Amino acid sequence: MIELQDIKKGFGDKEILKGVSAVMESGKVNLIIGASGSGKTVMMKCIVGLIEVDAGKILYDGKDFTTMDTHERKAIRQEIGMLFQGSALFDSMTVEQNVMFPLDMFGTGSYRDKKKRVAECLERVNLKDAARKYPAEISGGMKKRVGIARAIVLNPKYLFCDEPNSGLDPQTSLLIDQLIKELTVEYNITTVMNTHDMNTVMESGDHIVYMYQGQKQWEGSNKEIVFSNDQLLNDFIFASEFLREAKEMRQHELFSSGKWKEDLKNKGGNESGDDKK
């Protein structure tokens, strides 16, 4: 579990994160959504320590990352996997060498052990046959899967994915989402994912944090989104006439089945649907 307590970050006199608090649970894909420039990437970089926060605390399973010394931070970093936007593979290395890279950097064990671990991860993302290929020879979706294999090779407790679906078609995007979700549940990883992808939000948004101008504007699940009265969230998610109609239909469907009460009760929400936190 990762807990953010009132984190703030500015560049020069521009405040980017204006005091964000949130809890990212383990075994879940925690989504961070919001318009371009709302501070999603800055927040993710703060959480992993690529950028220092100006104020606030970041707790990794109760331990405050912001006050750790270099040695303690290194230990946490070894438990972090990252999937960068655009995959960020090394072009001059094969798929296998790319996935091997974190093991060479941090891992111990023999070359044989490392090769075995790489083979396991490539198998897990269904890329066994592409081990000897170079990034230029594989598709965008395959590159993402190599990125995922590389991110999980060290058995991370925490996984960060910045826009893992950018540039993919909707079906491939959903496959990538499914894979990330399966791995998250399988290994009880605390996964944090920045996304623009509304399919992702609606399909796998157990826990969604909606950022608006550097603040947490709303937090909840994909089920709660359908009943949210938050105008900014609604404008963002249901941006088109088509989606607004789809929302109404979904509300109607859930109301007539009576299932919405159960969903809200399980989430500890109230029945008025006013779920702004």
Ligand X SMILES: Nc1ncnc2c1ncn2[C@@H]1O[C@H](COP(=O)(O)OP(=O)(O)OP(=O)(O)O)[C@@H](O)[C@H]1O
Taking the complex as a whole, how short is the minimal distance between the CB of residue 44 and ligand X, in angstroms? 8
Contact 154/106 with Cβ under 8 angstroms?
A: yes
200 binds ligand X (CB under 6 A): no
Taking the complex as a whole, how short is the minimal distance between the CB of residue 62 and ligand X, in angstroms? 26
Find the binder of ligand X among 20, 28, 31, 38 (CB under 6 A): 38
- Residue 39 touches which of Mg ion, ligand X, none (CB < 5 to 8 A by kind)? ligand X
DSSP string, 208-223: EEEEETTEEEEEE-HH
- Residue 11 touches which of Mg ion, ligand X, none (CB < 5 to 8 A by kind)? ligand X
Instruction: Please list the alpha-helical segments (H only) found in 62-139.
Output: 70-77, 95-106, 111-124
Find the binder of ligand X among 2, 4, 7, 16 (CB under 6 A): 16
Nearer to ligand X, 1 or 35 (CB): 35
- Residue 70 touches which of ligand X, Mg ion, none (CB < 5 to 8 A by kind)? none
- Only segment of 34-42, 112-120, 213-221, 250-258 that touches Mg ion (CB under 5 A): 34-42
Which residues, 6+ apart, have CB-to-CB distance to 200 below 8 Å?
Answer: 31, 165, 173, 174, 177, 193
Which residues, 6+ apart, have CB-to-CB distance to 268 below 8 Å?
Answer: none
| Rg value, the chain, Cα | 20
How far is it, in rounded angstroms, from Cα 193 to Cα 256? 33
Contact 166/5 with Cβ under 8 angstroms?
A: no
How far is it, in rounded angstroms, from Cα 48 to Cα 63? 13
- Only segment of 38-46, 55-63, 143-151, 153-161 that touches ligand X (CB under 6 A): 38-46
Taking the complex as a whole, how short is the minimal distance between the CB of residue 83 and ligand X, in angstroms? 14
How far is it, in rounded angstroms, from Cα 10 to Cα 55? 10
Which residues, 6+ apart, have CB-to-CB distance to 135 below 8 Å?
Answer: 87, 89, 90, 91, 93, 95, 98, 143, 146
Site for Mg ion in 196-215 (CB under 5 A): none
Nearer to ligand X, 49 or 273 (CB): 49
Taking the complex as a whole, how short is the minimal distance between the CB of residue 147 and ligand X, in angstroms? 17
Taking the complex as a whole, how short is the minimal distance between the CB of residue 112 and ligand X, in angstroms? 40
Q: Would you tell me which residues interact with Mg ion (CB under 5 A)?
A: 40-41
Residues that bind ligand X (CB under 6 A): 11, 16, 34, 36-42
